[in-house]
Amino acid sequence: MQDAAVNQMLRVLSRSPNDGRGRRKKGKPRESGSFHLSMEEGWLSLFLLAAVVYSTIWCVQAVGWVDNLNVLTLTTLLGLVAGVLASKQYRFPSIVVHVVAMLFGLFVAFWQTAGAFHNGSFAAFAGSLGDWFNTVLHGGFGNDDSIFLFFIVTLGFVLAYTSAWLVYRTRSPWLMIIANAVVLLINLSNTTNGYIIFLVIFLLAALLLVLRFNLYESIKRWNRQGLRYSEDLGWDIMQAGALISIGILIFSWILPYGYTDPNVSQIWTVDSNPWVQLQNTWDRIMSVNGGVNAANRGSFRDTLTLGGNPNLNNEIVFTVQSDDGSQYLQSTVFDTYTDRGWTISPTSNHSLKAKETNPLPVLKIKPVTQSITVVNQPALQYPYLFGAPQIVSTNLPASIMQSRTTGETTAWLNQNGFITGGNTYTVTSDASSADEASLRTIPLPKDATSTYSPSGQASADAYDPDIVRVYTQLPQDLDPQIGILAQNITRDKKTMYDKVLALETYLRAHYAYDLNINKPPREEGVSWFLFRSNNRGFCNYFSSAMAVMARSLGIPARVVVGYTNGNYDTKTHQRVIRGVDAHAWTQVYFAGYGWINFEPSQSFATFSRPLPDTSGNGSGSTGNLPGGPNGPNNPQNQDPRHKIGANDSLDGSGTNASAIGPDVGRSVSVAAGSLILLLLFGCILFSVWWRKLFRNLSVTSQVYGRVCMLADWAGIRLQPSNTPTEYMDKLAQASPDEAEMLHRLGDIYTRERWAPPESPDHPKHNGDLNEIGRLWQRLQPRLFLYLARHPYFLRWGPRRLLVLWREARERRKQHKMLYDNL
């Protein structure tokens, strides 16, 4: 006979499909117009379904793709309720129910998104939807966070609704698990290690749900066939399933991880892969915070949006062997600025053979050769070649993207397609070696006295009018305060170089470098950064602000994207470029000297300039940067492009010391996760053992035995001479609050054991047995709480070990005495 608590649980787990309100005669079909809300499958199945769905949804919230993801909790609940109601009704056709449910889900998502981003204004959010659609349709980046929230909330409702329908209507729990697993794994790959608990909950709930559902289907089949089965079969199977599930999780947790075949992995990372192309398209139309949705190694396209955190990771992208370690790696330049960011004007392609040169007609240059090995390819729209500004040749067949208006090079492409990991290419660049004195002699375009002649010869006093027109372009509705600020900054500067230098210095001095910013969706980027950002932003904002302010002064300027020169590895004698080194900076055009690099981003060192009268072969000193290529600090050991507070700790071997942190963090996470799983496994094992304890005895004997065992663990020993009444008195003295219940239990137990079975005082005749379940429900938590306050059982282990040690020592003495007497 089972105790009351066990019997109640058994009724939940093993309820026959013909029990309760959902009962119908065998063989009688369900009426098409009926509605049955009773959970024939058991309410436990609904709880497990909710655990599977919510572990997925809460993982989405943990990633934090956008703000206000907390609304997903309510949306998921509405989706589950709608799914259960829809699956339990048979009055309306399924297609009608699905359409109504999806419309309701869209309304909920629209309502919650409007409330989160537009103060509840439906009209404002509808306008944002229209703007986003128009932007994406014309190849731009959809960087409105409210659109992404709307999509995520809709997906949450659909996922919850579909999950309930698959379980309760189509009877396909495996399909439900697969759908949720896909979403869960996508989001887990973008969270920290600590959120692995969502996967643990998901797997445990999913395995138990499949087991519970298969058991329910089997019981239905056995009932139709008239087969008999044990009443507690459901509980036994669920116990075994829980143990097996926990065992699988523990085993998988301790398995080795992290092996990746570098050659096979290229199949999934090359940009010609359709999956990667689909991912790139998705990142464009759903650009959370204006950047790539997930942590990335850098993303390079023909547009540059001023948005939120780009979420760059620390994976190695390139290793570079170079004769000048101070050079950045340039990818793409942008010439057109709009209120949505930077774009490239129409281009045409010009093909070059391997090692064919495309020389630059500029003064004071030095050749720089770089051997670049691709380790992990960044996200590329085209097969860009990276190299120091400005590339003039490469050992690969190349295609040059050139502006149709100015003829300026926009980017170098590899004609043979994307370069996968493990491959190396070489580029030669004509890097500028112009000194400050020479640059100060260059006039503003409006002050130039010479007439430009497209003869191919560099002139220090003549500007190409097309270059001036294109690279001083600004939107007509640009905030006029930007130009006023630029005028105020450069008011007392006489030369064009000094004006540009003043802009660079102002930005570095008055604005802080911060990746975690959140620009409002409809704000123009530069104006917001300069006047309403609390003086915080990252390289996209710094470089754009400098270029726009320079253009407002009539100075040709543009924004360039690529990578900084990373860190030097003393073991391989190469520079290591990582995802976090992806960067944007500013270039200004000086007549005769071409495009000159400037670094307006605070926390990045400024570009060095050679001293006057040094040759253009790169052998001169750096002038204003002691850590430059030939300064007192060797550039191979000190990074001349040093970033303050980011990747700036190198140990003696050139290894980034900060990289130790993730390894330690993962070790702690693994240890904590293993401990949690072991504790969970121990709790389930104890629960199984506790439920089976004294199971062959009567309910009264089971309860009495468990009370005695808990008391013994708390240090109140049952002596052989104690009667049940005496022992209950002893327990009542230790816990007076439970005295009445303990005396009542002792009285019922005594009469059940020793009263004549036919006596009216026997508990089975007077109804006292019905009290046992209620007594145990009240006593059990209080006794466990008393045990927690008096954990006498913890002494058993050390004392038992001490006894064993003494016994072993005594045996050794006896053996020694026996040996000595022989």
Per the CB < 8 A criterion, the answer to whether 298 and 317 are in contact is yes
pLDDT band at 12 (very low <50, low <70, confident <90, very high): very low
Does the pLDDT at position 663 exceed 60?
A: no
Does the pLDDT at position 666 exceed 80?
A: no
Stated as kind and residue range, the H or E segment containing 719 is none
Summary mean pLDDT of the chain: 77
753 against 228, higher pLDDT: 753
Q: What is the rounded average pLDDT of the residues 206-217? A: 78
Q: What is the rounded average pLDDT of the residues 295-300? A: 74
Q: What is the rounded average pLDDT of the residues 102-118? A: 89
Name which of 75-84, 364-373, 641-650 the model is least confident about.
641-650
Instruction: State residue 588's pLDDT score.
Output: 95
Instruction: State residue 294's pLDDT score.
Output: 44
Q: What is the rounded average pLDDT of the residues 361-375? A: 89
**Strand boundaries in 511-556, DSSP class E:** 512-513, 536-537
Q: Which long-range contacts (CB under 8 A, 24 or more apart) does 257-265 make?
A: 262/421, 262/422, 263/422, 265/421
Does the pLDDT at position 653 exceed 90?
A: no
Does the pLDDT at position 457 exceed 70?
A: no
Q: What is the rounded average pLDDT of the residues 519-539? A: 89
Q: What is the rounded average pLDDT of the residues 575-588? A: 92
Q: What is the rounded average pLDDT of the residues 234-256? A: 61
Instruction: State residue 221's pLDDT score.
Output: 77
pLDDT, one tens digit per residue, over 534-550 is 999 999 999 999 999 99
Instruction: State residue 102's pLDDT score.
Output: 92
Rounded to 5 degrees, what angle do the CA atoms 371, 272, 558 make? 60
SS3 410: strand
Does the pLDDT at position 244 exceed 70?
A: no
Does the pLDDT at position 664 exceed 80?
A: no
Instruction: State residue 3's pLDDT score.
Output: 47
Which residue type, as a one-letter code, is found at position 356?
A: E
CA torsion angle for 226, 227, 231, 237 (degrees, to 10)?
A: -130
Structure tokens at 585: 């900076």
Cα(342)–Cα(541) distance, integer angstroms? 11
Q: Percent of the chain scored above 90 by pLDDT? A: 23
| pTM score | 0.51
Cα(762)–Cα(749) distance, integer angstroms? 10
Instruction: State residue 66's pLDDT score.
Output: 76
Q: What is the rounded average pLDDT of the residues 148-160? A: 89
Strand arrangement of the beta sheet that strand 424-432 belongs to: 391-394, 424-432, 365-374, 316-322, 574-578, 567-569
Name which of 288-302, 477-491, 567-581, 739-753 the model is least confident about.
288-302
Instruction: State residue 239's pLDDT score.
Output: 62
Cα(127)–Cα(132) distance, integer angstroms? 9
Q: What is the rounded average pLDDT of the residues 194-209? A: 78
Does the pLDDT at position 263 exceed 50?
A: no
Instruction: State residue 701's pLDDT score.
Output: 86
Q: In 3D, which of 434, 351, 357 has the Cα closest to residue 399? A: 351
Entry field: residues in the chain: 822
Q: In 3D, which of 541, 641, 548, 558 has the Cα closest to residue 596? A: 558
Q: What is the rounded average pLDDT of the residues 119-144? A: 71
Instruction: State residue 16's pLDDT score.
Output: 41
Cα(773)–Cα(770) distance, integer angstroms? 7
pLDDT, one tens digit per residue, over 593-604 is 999 999 999 888
Q: What is the rounded average pLDDT of the residues 38-67? A: 81
SS3 347: strand
pLDDT band at 639 (very low <50, low <70, confident <90, very high): very low
Does the pLDDT at position 615 exceed 80?
A: no
Instruction: State residue 558's pLDDT score.
Output: 95
Indicate left, alpha or beta for 554 from its phi (over 0: left) and psi (-120 to 50: alpha): left
Cα(652)–Cα(626) distance, integer angstroms? 21
Supply the DSSP string of 171-212, one letter for each residue. Answer: --HHHHHHHHHHHHHHHHTTS-GGGHHHHHHHHHHHHHHHHH
**Most confident listed range (244-253, 441-450, 594-603, 791-800):** 594-603
* Residue that the structure tokens 């230098």 belong to: 501
Q: What are phi and psi of 433, to 5 degrees?
A: -120, 25
Does the pLDDT at position 649 exceed 70?
A: no
Name which of 202-206, 257-261, 556-560 the model is least confident about.
257-261
306 against 1, higher pLDDT: 306
Name which of 174-183, 414-423, 657-666, 764-773 the model is least confident about.
657-666
Does the pLDDT at position 266 exceed 60?
A: no
Per the CB < 8 A criterion, the answer to whether 550 and 337 are in contact is no
pLDDT band at 651 (very low <50, low <70, confident <90, very high): very low
pLDDT, one tens digit per residue, over 698-733 is 888 888 888 888 888 888 888 888 888 888 888 888
Instruction: State residue 378's pLDDT score.
Output: 84
Q: What is the rounded average pLDDT of the residues 770-798? A: 79
Indicate left, alpha or beta for 576 from its phi (over 0: left) and psi (-120 to 50: alpha): beta
Does the pLDDT at position 275 exceed 60?
A: no
